[in-house]
Structure 1
Amino acid sequence: MPIVWYFDFISPFAWLQWPKVKALAAMHPVALRPIVLAGVLEKCGQKGPAEIPAKREFTYRYVLWRAQQAHQPLRFPPAHPFNPLAALRLCIAADTSVEATEAIFDWIWGQGHAGDSINALAPVAARLGIADPAAAIADPAVKAQLRANFDAAIAEGVFGVPTLSLDGRLFWGDDAHDFALACLRDPSLWDAPEMQRVASLPLAAARAV
């Protein structure tokens, strides 16, 4: 079953899920695909949690609590949300390896450093053996791959990050990871009668736009 993980370094929930994705990747091949969350939100016509003031504050407190419960380090970068393009392109320039993904995530969310420019990410690039990080993230092939990742995500129906895709079945969010593993063990769970019914449940009301 093809497994794809769509993520953006801007998301603290992606950092929370990352250890679980690494564990999954140790047992099954997982394609790591960095994408631009802002583009997904625009495509879907929705706001991110950080764009709604009360939701922003709650979300930040909630992810800190989730990290504490998981005994996982989490320190917010100096500002959030931030522009993640440099981090996403650096990851792709380093072949989107587990090592590169880990290093960038840890720099931003484990240690709380800025990840909004290639200058801020220079220590990570050096650790990954990228001698000229500015040139690496400006490579047209890197930019094209990031766009291809985004196009693949939209084609699959991705509406947020992090999202695990199990053969096209989407599991959004760190808190859906156990559901994804259950469906990986027993794919018929996804097609149980009530699961099928709610997939086509009619609307009884809709907001005017």
Structure 2
Amino acid sequence: MKTIDFYLDFVSPYAWLAFDALPQALQGHSVHVRYRPVLLGALLQQHANPGPAGIAGKREWTYRHVSWLGERQGCGLQMPAQHPFNPLPLLRLALRTGQGGCINRFTADAIFRHVWLGGADALDPQRLQALQLTLAEQLRSGDAAEQEAKQWLRSNTDAAIAAGVFGVPSVVVDGQLFWGLDGLPMLSACLNGDAWFAAGQWDASADRPSGLPKR
């Protein structure tokens, strides 16, 4: 059985779409998925990347694109009342339900739906209270649990950076990184033993010098 790390941040609409599509991509394979919340902002900062929401024009296109993809994919996606927003409360809440920096699919699903279905404010206090009730059976309370969640978020984000993760959603399996919703077919092909991978194209395709001057 292979172990797969699925790095996510609830602020990313593509993470919701990939989370919904992941079971189909993994169909027929014996895998264990570890859902690992990370802070997308810290990943982007590593590369001085403002992200789609930080680029005029691309921000609007992204919102239109993901809304269309959600309808086309059948999982639904309505932009929350404000975006981007500070995802820390949701990430820490998630990790207060988990173990060893991982959360289960139930928790991830509940929080993704809280953010991406209905078009409401993801950080509305009443809605957050209702979300905590949904997760109550798994949720640890108290200062120690809160501090542990903060530490696991830092550790997960550091581990993601060390693994070469530069954005979410990212899937890492056997040291190979697959990024984005549109990376899932490639992940599925890899697990299916696609000849492209066996021929050494994974390394050969990326082994190119840059033609741009160094900064």
Q: Identify the match of residue 43 of structure 1 among 35, 43, 46.
A: 46
The residue that corresponds to 1:80 in the other structure is: 83
* Residues 1:97 and 2:104 aligned together: yes
Give distance in 1, aligned partners of 2:138 and 2:204: 54
The residue that corresponds to 1:121 in the other structure is: 128
Q: Is the 8 A contact 1:89 1:137 kept in 2?
A: no
The residue that corresponds to 1:66 in the other structure is: 69
The residue that corresponds to 1:21 in the other structure is: 22
Q: Identify the match of residue 169 of structure 1 among 176, 181, 186.
A: 176
Name structure 1 gaps, 5 residues minimum. Answer: none
TM-score, length of structure 2 as denominator length: 0.87
Q: Is the 8 A contact 2:169 2:179 kept in 1?
A: yes
The residue that corresponds to 2:151 in the other structure is: 144
Q: Is the 8 A contact 2:81 2:122 kept in 1?
A: no
| Distance of aligned partners of 1:72 and 1:129 in 2 relative to their CA distance in 1, 3 Å threshold | same
Q: CA deviation at 1:115?
A: 2.5
Give distance in 2, aligned partners of 1:79 and 1:21: 26
The residue that corresponds to 2:160 in the other structure is: 153
The residue that corresponds to 2:13 in the other structure is: 12
Q: Is the 8 A contact 1:6 1:32 kept in 2?
A: yes
Q: Is the 8 A contact 1:87 1:117 kept in 2?
A: no
SS of residue in 2 equivalent to 1:186 = coil
TM-score, length of structure 1 as denominator length: 0.89
SS of residue in 2 equivalent to 1:72 = coil
Q: CA deviation at 1:134?
A: 7.6
Q: CA deviation at 1:20?
A: 2.2
Letter of the 1:14 partner, please give it.
A
Q: Is the 8 A contact 2:11 2:84 kept in 1?
A: yes
Q: CA deviation at 1:119?
A: 5.2
Q: Greater shift after overlay, 40-49 or 18-27?
A: 18-27
Give distance in 2, aligned partners of 1:136 and 1:21: 34
Considering only aligned residues, what root-mean-square deviation do their CA atoms show, in Å?
A: 2.5
Q: CA deviation at 1:2?
A: 2.5
* Residues 1:183 and 2:184 aligned together: no
Q: Greater shift after overlay, 93-102 or 8-17?
A: 93-102
Letter of the 1:60 partner, please give it.
Y
Give distance in 2, aligned partners of 1:106 and 1:183: 29
Name structure 2 gaps, 5 residues minimum. Answer: none
Number of residue pairs the alignment of both structures matches? 208
